Amino acid sequence: MMTATSINELAKEVFDIEANSILRLKNNIGDNFDKAIEILYSCKGRVIITGMGKSGLIGKKIAATLSSTGTPSYFLHPAESTHGDSGIITRDDVIIAISNSGETQELLNLLPLIKRFGVQMIGMTGKMNSTLAQASDVVLDISVEREACPLNKAPTASTTATLAMGDALAVCLLEKRGFTEEDFLVFHPSGALGKGFLYKVSDLMKTEDLPTALENDSFTKVIEIITNHKLGMAMILNTKGELTGVFTDGDIRRTLLKYGNTSNLLIKDVMTSNPKRITANSYGASALNLMEKYSITALAVVDEQNIPVGVIHIHDLLKAGVA
pLDDT digits (tens, 9 = 90+) for 109-128: 888 888 888 899 999 999 99
Give Rg (Cα) of the chain: 28
Report residue 54 CA to chain centroid gap: 27
Class in CATH terms, 4-178: alpha beta
Q: Please, are residues 231 and 313 in contact by the beta-carbon 8 Å criterion?
A: yes
Each residue of 168-190: pLDDT tens digit? 999 999 888 887 666 565 555 55
Break the chain into its structural domains and give their ranges.
4-178, 201-320
Q: What is the mean pLDDT of residues 290-300?
A: 92
Q: What is the mean pLDDT of residues 98-113?
A: 90
Q: What pLDDT sits at residue 66? A: 93
Q: Please, are residues 234 and 219 in contact by the beta-carbon 8 Å criterion?
A: no
Query: Can you tell me whether residue 281 is helix, strand or coil?
Result: coil
Is 3.10.580.10 the CATH classification of the domain at 201-320? Answer: yes
DSSP string for residues in 38-58: HHHHT-SS-EEEEE-THHHHH
Query: Can you tell me whether residue 277 is helix, strand or coil?
Result: strand
List, in order, residues 6 or more apart from 244 with CB less than 8 Å away: 215, 236, 237, 238, 268, 271, 273, 274
Q: What pLDDT sits at residue 27? A: 86
Each residue of 9-44: pLDDT tens digit? 999 999 999 999 999 998 888 899 999 999 999 999
